[in-house]
Amino acid sequence: MTSPTLALPFGLAATAASGGSAASPREAEREAIEACRRGEREAFDRLVEQYQRDVYRLCYRYVNDHEDANDLAQEVFIKAWRAIGRFRGESAFSTWLYRIAVNACLNFRALRRPITQELPETLADPVPLAAARVESDDEARRVRAAVSRLPEKQRATLILKIYHELTHEEVAEILGSTVGTVKANLFHALGNLRRLVGEERR
Amino acid sequence: MTRHLSDESLLRLVQGDSAEAERAHLSACGRCAERVEEARAGLTLARRADVPEPSPLYWEAMRLRIGRRIAEEPRRSPRWAWLAPILATAAAVAVVTLTTGRAHAPVAHPGPTLPAWSALPPAEDDVSLGVLEAVAVADGDLGTDDEGRGVSAFLAGLTDEEYRALADSLREAGKGGES
C-alpha cells in the first residue's frame, strides 16, 4: 500500500500559486531534478517533500524502528543529493531513489547485525496453518517483526512489491535481479511470513 | 501428479491471475494447494500490517533537518560538471603538447576565435590558455551541453566571475599536470 502523500504533487503547488497552467507532475519532477543538478537546494526540498514518506516507510519496514528509520531516511536523501548529478533519467527517479534506500538499509543491517534472528532461506518443517487475521496493534507489530526476519532478498522484494506497489520489473531493476527471481522471492516471502507470524504468536 | 507448479505459477494463483491449467493442477495437488494457501495467508497478513504514522510535524522536521545538512555540504559547481571530463582530457593534451614543444609550431588550421579573456591577467605562459586552446580546437569532437552548445559557445557565455574561477581551476590543473 502506498502511503497517502500529504504534499501536493509536483506542478499543483505552482498551478495554485500562479493560477496558470502548469507542467504535468512528471514534467515538474524532471524540472526539479534538473534544478537539483544545477545545485538548487529548493528544488531538492520539493523532491524530499514528495518522497520522504515513502522512503521513511521503506526504511521502517527494514529496520522496524522509528529512530533507525528516521536516520536512514535522512541518509538516503543526503546520498541522493550528492549523487543526483549522475542521475540520467534512464529509470524513474523513484526507482533510483528506492535503490539508494535499499542499499542504505542493507548496509545498515550488515553493520548492525544481528538485530533479530533472521530466517534461513529454506524452512524444513512449516508450521501448521492457522487463521490469518490481524486483530490488534500487537498483531501488526508481530507481522512487522516477521517481515524484518525474512531473508534479505525476500524482505526487499516483499517490501517493494506489497507496500510500495512496484511492478515486478521495477523491483528487479532496483534489486539488480531478474523478474523470475523477483516472483520466486515474493512467493517464498509470503509463505515464510505466514510461518514466522505463527512463531511470533507462540 | 509427478511435477509441482513452479514458484511463478504458484504466485499467479496467489494473485488471482493464473491460467486454467494451473488452476486444474491446484485442484488435484494437495502440496501445491497448501503452498498457495500459505502464501495467500501471508499476503493477507502483510497487507494488514501498516507502518505507524508519525506526527504530521515529523515530516516538516525531517525536511528541515535534511535541508540543513544539505546546506552544510560543500558547494558544487554543477554548471561546469559536464565539462570536467572534457577539461581533464584537454589538460592532458595541453601538457603533452607543451612538453613536446608542439605548442609553438604553426597551426595549419586555425581554431575558432577564443572568447574574450579580460578577466585573466595576460601571461604568455599561462597553462590555462593552452588548455582552452586545445578545448576550442577540439570543440567539434567534444559534444555539447544540455542546451546543445559547444565548448566555445559555452565559454563565451560565462561571466567574468565565472571566467576567473574557471581559469583558476585550469591553472591548478596545469600545475598538477606539470608536477
Exposed / middle / buried, residue A151 (Cβ in 10 Å: 0-12, 13-18, 19+): middle
pLDDT digits (tens, 9 = 90+) for A136-163: 678 888 899 999 899 999 999 999 999 9
pLDDT band for B95, please (50, 70, 90 cuts).
low
- Looking at residue A157, its pLDDT comes to 96
Which residues of chain A make contact with B46, given a CB cutoff of 8 A?
Answer: 143, 147, 158, 162-163, 190, 193
Average pLDDT over residues B36-41: 95
- The answer on pLDDT for B86 being more than 80 is no
Number of Cβ pairs < 8 A linking chain A and chain B: 130
- Interface touch B8/A187, C-beta < 8 Å: yes
Which residue, A13, A109, A98, A180, is CA-closest to B9? Answer: A180
- Interface touch A82/B35, C-beta < 8 Å: no
Of A72, A77, A190, which to mutate for an interface test with B (greatest number of B Cβ within 10 Å)? A190
CA of A190, closest CA in chain B: separation in Å? 5
Is the CB of B51 inside 8 Å of chain A's CB atoms?
yes
pLDDT band for A90, please (50, 70, 90 cuts).
confident
The correct CATH number of A22-113 out of 1.10.1740.10, 3.40.190.10, 3.90.650.10, 3.10.580.10 is 1.10.1740.10
- Lowest-confidence range among A85-89, A119-123, A137-141? A119-123
CA of B160, closest CA in chain A: separation in Å? 19
Q: Which of A126-135, B86-95, B115-124 has the highest mean pLDDT?
A: B86-95
pLDDT band for A89, please (50, 70, 90 cuts).
confident
Mean model confidence pLDDT for chain A:
81
- Looking at residue B163, its pLDDT comes to 60
Answer for the pair B154, B83: CB distance below 8 angstroms, yes or no: yes
In three-state form (DSSP H/G/I as H, E/B as E, the rest C), the secondary structure along chain A is CCCCCCCCCCCHHHHHHHCCCCCCHHHHHHHHHHHHHCCCHHHHHHHHHHHHHHHHHHHHHHHCCHHHHHHHHHHHHHHHHHHHHHCCCCCCHHHHHHHHHHHHHHHHHHHHCCCCCCCCCCCCCCCCCCCCCCCCHHHHHHHHHHHHHCCHHHHHHHHHHHHCCCCHHHHHHHHCCCHHHHHHHHHHHHHHHHHHHHHHHC
CA of B135, closest CA in chain A: separation in Å? 23
Residues 6+ apart with CB under 8 A from B14: A187, A190, B36, B39, B40, B43
Tell me the three cell numbers of residue B115: 572568447
Reduce the DSSP state of residue B103 to 3 states and report it.
helix
Q: How far is the CA of B111 from the CAs of A104, B85, B120, in angstroms?
A: 49, 21, 20
CA of A19, closest CA in chain B: separation in Å? 25
- Interface touch B70/A81, C-beta < 8 Å: yes
In three-state form (DSSP H/G/I as H, E/B as E, the rest C), the secondary structure along B159-175 is CHHHHHHHHHHHHHHHH
The correct CATH number of A124-202 out of 3.30.590.10, 1.10.10.10, 2.130.10.30, 3.30.420.40 is 1.10.10.10
CATH 1.10.10.10 segments of chain A: 124-202
Closest residue in chain B to residue A5, using alpha carbons only: B59
- The answer on pLDDT for B58 being more than 90 is yes
Which residue, B137, B90, B135, is CA-closest to B112? Answer: B137
Exposure string over B124-158, b if 16+ CB within 10 A, otherwise e: eebbbbbbbbbbbbebeebeebeeeebbbebbeeb
Mean model confidence pLDDT for chain B:
71
Residue with cell 531493476: A173
Which residues of chain B make contact with A134, given a CB cutoff of 8 A?
Answer: 45, 48-49
Is the CB of B102 inside 8 Å of chain A's CB atoms?
no
Answer for the pair A81, A39: CB distance below 8 angstroms, yes or no: no
Answer for the pair A170, A178: CB distance below 8 angstroms, yes or no: no
Angle ∠(B133,B137,B140) on CA atoms, nearest 5: 140
Q: Which of A37, A78, A184 sits opposite B66 (nearest CB)?
A: A78
pLDDT band for A200, please (50, 70, 90 cuts).
confident
- Interface touch B43/A82, C-beta < 8 Å: no
CA of B112, closest CA in chain A: separation in Å? 28
- The answer on pLDDT for A8 being more than 50 is no
CA of B114, closest CA in chain A: separation in Å? 26
pLDDT digits (tens, 9 = 90+) for B60-83: 999 999 999 999 987 665 455 556
Is the CB of B33 inside 8 Å of chain A's CB atoms?
no
Is the CB of B15 inside 8 Å of chain A's CB atoms?
no
The conformation of residue B4, written as its DSSP 8-state character, comes to P
Share of chain B above pLDDT 70, in %: 41
- Looking at residue B178, its pLDDT comes to 46
Which residues of chain B make contact with A180, given a CB cutoff of 8 A?
Answer: 8
Average pLDDT over residues A49-67: 94
Q: How far is the CA of B165 from the CAs of A18, B116, B145, B162, in angstroms?
A: 37, 15, 19, 5
- Looking at residue A22, its pLDDT comes to 58
pLDDT digits (tens, 9 = 90+) for B98-137: 666 554 544 445 544 444 444 444 444 555 555 555 555 5
Exposure string over A161-189, b if 16+ CB within 10 A, otherwise e: bbbbebebebbbbbbebeeebbbbbbbbb
Higher pLDDT, A156 or A10: A156
- Looking at residue A56, its pLDDT comes to 96
CATH 1.10.1740.10 segments of chain A: 22-113
CA separation for the pair A142, A109 (Å, rounded): 19
Which residues of chain B make contact with A139, given a CB cutoff of 8 A?
Answer: 48-49
